[in-house]
Amino acid sequence: MRKQVAIILLLLAATCATWAVDFRAVGPSQVPANQPFQIQYIIDEKADDIQPPSMPGFELLAGPFTSTSSSFSFVNGKRTSTYQKTFTYTYLVSKPGTYNIGAATITSGGRKYRSNGLKITVVKEESGSQPQASSSSREERQERASRREERPQETSIFIRTILSKSHVREQEPLTLSYKLYFIGADNVQLAGVTKMPDFTGFLKQESDNEPLQAHIETYNGRQYNVATIYKVLLYPQHSGEIQITPATFEVVYTIPGAGQDPFGQLYGYQAHKTLKAPAVTVNVDGLPQENKPKQFSGGVGHFTMTPTISATELSANEPITLRLDITGKGNMKLIKTPEVNWPEGFDVYDPKVNNSYQNTDSGSTGTKSIEYMAIPREPGDYTLPPVTLSYYDSETGDYRTLTTPSYQLHIKRAQKTQDGGQVSDYSQEDIKQLATDIRYIHTDELQEAADGAARPSSVRTGTAAWWACYLVPLLIAIIMLILLRKYIRENADLTQVRYRRANKVARRRLKSAKQLLEAGQAAAFYEEIERAAVSYLSDRLTIPTAELTKETIGEQLRSRGVADELIRETQDVLSEAEFARYAPSSQQDLPAMYSRTEALINHLEDQKI
C-alpha cells in the first residue's frame, strides 16, 4: 500500500512539474528586410541560463534584455499570484525569405525546458531596387552603429556610496546608501547584485529597500535622475578606521530614440552595464573610559526609561510584575536588559522583552518594553531597590544613568483556597487563578452500581458492532485501493491527461483574460487570449507547442473533419491576437475578441476533436 501511494505521489509530482512551467517564444510572423524587430522568450518561473537557437542570416543588434513582472490579487478571500520573466532579443535580417527558427532551451529548478519554434517571413523593402536597398541598408546600419558609439557619450550612469556620517563613535548608528545617478537613459532597472561588501567591523541591520523611485538631484553642477537602490543601517563594533569595500551592481536601461520599428514607432536600444560603487572609510572613535559606569548597558543614543509596577501590597503567592519602557533612538537592539535585584524569598522568572521600533537614518527609534515577574512566598515588608540603565548619550557626549525609584512591598499572608489549602506553587508560564477546572484523582475503591443504574456503553465481543469495527475499515481500504489503481491507469498516459484537461486549462486562461480586459490591460489581454487558444489546440491535437503553426493547425483540424469555415475562424483569431500584441497602436474591440475566442473553443469542443 505504501509503495502504491509513493508511486501516485511521484506521478502527481512529475505531472504537476510538467504542467506548471510555461516557456514560449513570441515574435512577428512577417517583418520587412533591414528593419529591426524583437523576439521574446517568456517563462512563468524563475529561470536563467537561456540558450537561444542558432539563427543563420539574423544579425543580433541587442539583447538579451531581461525583465520580470509579478502580480497578486485577492478575490473572495482567495489569493492568486502570477510571475513572468522575459528575455528580449533585437534582430535584423537583410535577405528576404521564410525562416524557420528552432526552439530555445532554459533551465528552471534543475529541469530543462524547450520553447516553441517560430516561422518568420522577411519581405522586401518597399522603396528602391535591390542593389540600392542593399547599399542603403549598409549605410543605415553604419549610421546606427555610429549612433550607438556616440550615444554612450550622451548617456551618463553611475553609482555613488553615501554615508549619513563619516565620523562616529563606537556603537553609534550610521546609514550607508547606494544611489544610482543617470541621465540620457530610460527604463533603468536593477538587474542584480554581483558583489556586496562583507561589512567587517560592523553590525548590520537591513533597511526596507523600496522599488526604484527616481527624483531630480544636482551633482557637480548637473541635474541627474537619482534613485536609492540599497540602504543598510550599520553599528561600528570597534574604534579606528574601518573600510567598506566596493560593491558591484548590474543595471539594464534603454537608450532612447535609436531607431524605428516596422510599425513606425520609435524605439531605443536596450543596454546592460556593470557599475561599481566606490569604497568608503568610516572613522570610529572609541567610547571614553573616563567616568564610564560599571553597569554600562552598551546603549549609544538618547533614551528615557519609564517604570510601572503592578502592585506594592499583595498576598503571598500572588505574582508581581515590574515593567520598564525604554524609549528613544540609537542602537536599541544592542541595549542589555537591566538587572532587577528582587528580595530574598521571591521566585523570579525570566523577563519578557517586546521590541516596538523602526529603523531610521539615525538608528532605531521606538520603545523597548521589558516585563519582569516574581512571586513572593512569605509575608512581610520588603524593599525593591532601584533599577539602573547607563548609556552613552551621543547628543551630549557623556554617560547618562537612568534610575527607577525604590519600591516598598507589603506582602500579606496567603489567602485560603476553597478546599482549605493554600496556593503553594505556580508554573513557569504566566500566572492566572484557576477556579474549578482541576479535579483530584479519586484513590478510594469504586462502589458497584446499583441494579438498574445506567452503565457506560460497551461493545461486546462477537456482536454486529464488534464485527463492524473490523470489517468497515477493511472495506474502506479495499475501495481506496481500487480507486487508486484506477487513478494510476488514467494518469499514466500524459498525452491523454493533456487531452482531457484542455478545455479546463483554456477556461482558466479565458477567465484570466477577462480580468485583464476589465483592468484595461490590452497587451496582456491579447497575450492571454493567444495562450488560451494555442494551449487548447496543443492539448487537443496532442502536438507540442514548439511544432504548432497555423499550417499544422489547419491540416490537423481538416484531417479530423472540422469544417473549413471553423478552421479559417481559428486561424483568424490566432492572427488577430498576434497582430494586436505587436501593433499596440491598432484599435480593436476587446470584448468582441474575447467573445470570438470563447465561441471558437466552444465550437471546437462540440466537434470533439
Q: How confident is the model at residue 451 (pLDDT cuts 50, 70, 90)?
A: low
Q: Which three cell numbers stand for residue 80?
A: 492568486
392 exposed, middle or buried (CB, 10 Å; 0-12, 13-18, 19+)? Answer: buried
Q: What is the rounded distance in angstroms from the CA atom of residue 52 to the CA atom of residue 101? A: 10
Q: How confident is the model at residue 319 (pLDDT cuts 50, 70, 90)?
A: very high
| 525-568 pLDDT per residue, tens | 888 888 888 888 887 777 777 677 778 888 888 888 888 888 88
Class of domain 155-285: mainly beta
Q: Which three cell numbers stand for residue 159?
A: 553609482
Average pLDDT, the chain: 78
What value does the mean pLDDT take over residues 515-526?
84
Q: Which three cell numbers stand for residue 403?
A: 534610575
What value does the mean pLDDT take over residues 562-587?
75
Among 300-304, 319-323, 388-392, 547-551, whose mean pLDDT is lowest?
547-551
Q: What is the rounded distance in angstroms from the CA atom of residue 550 to the CA atom of residue 572? A: 10
User: What are the residues whose beta carbons fall under 8 Å from the beta carbon of 39, sequence distance 6 or more?
Assistant: 25, 26, 27, 88, 89, 91, 101, 118
Q: In the 8-state DSSP scheme, what is residue 336? A: P
What value does the mean pLDDT take over residues 196-216?
77
Q: How many CA atoms lie within 13 A of 253 on its CB side?
A: 24
Q: Which three cell numbers stand for residue 576?
A: 488577430
Stronger pLDDT, 509 or 127, i.e. the higher one: 509
- pLDDT value at 488 more than 80: no
41 exposed, middle or buried (CB, 10 Å; 0-12, 13-18, 19+)? Answer: buried
If you write DSSP's letter for every residue of 473-505 in order, what string do you get? HHHHHHHHHHHHHHHHHHHH-HHHHHHHHHHHH
- Residue written as grid cell 559606569: 293
What pLDDT shows up at residue 532?
85
Q: Is the peptide bond before 64 cis (omega within 30 degrees of 0)?
A: yes
199 exposed, middle or buried (CB, 10 Å; 0-12, 13-18, 19+)? Answer: middle
What pLDDT shows up at residue 387?
93
Stronger pLDDT, 202 or 457, i.e. the higher one: 202
Q: How confident is the model at residue 434 (pLDDT cuts 50, 70, 90)?
A: very low
Q: What is the rounded distance in angstroms from the CA atom of residue 132 to the CA atom of residue 128? A: 6
What value does the mean pLDDT take over residues 178-184?
90
Q: What is the rounded distance in angstroms from the CA atom of residue 152 to the CA atom of residue 141? A: 17
User: Which sequence spans correspond to the domains of the chain?
Assistant: 23-123, 155-285, 296-412, 494-607
What pLDDT shows up at residue 152?
41
Class of domain 296-412: mainly beta
Tallying the residues shown for the chain, one arrives at 609
- pLDDT value at 375 more than 90: yes
Q: How confident is the model at residue 56 (pLDDT cuts 50, 70, 90)?
A: confident
Indicate the pTM of the whole model.
0.42
Query: What is the bridge-based pairing of β-strands 280-285 and 215-219?
Result: unpaired
User: What are the residues whose beta carbons fall under 8 Å from the beta carbon of 194, sequence distance 6 or more?
Assistant: 248, 249, 250, 274
Class of domain 23-123: mainly beta
What pLDDT shows up at residue 425?
45
- pLDDT value at 3 more than 70: no
> Do 296-412 and 494-607 share a fold?
no
Pick the CATH number of 494-607 from 1.10.238, 1.10.3470, 2.60.40, 1.20.120: 1.20.120
How many CB atoms are located within 10 Å of the residue 489 CB?
9
What value does the mean pLDDT take over residues 90-117?
87
| 60-96 pLDDT per residue, tens | 877 777 777 655 444 444 555 667 788 888 888 888 8
CB 402, CB 304: distance < 8 Å: yes
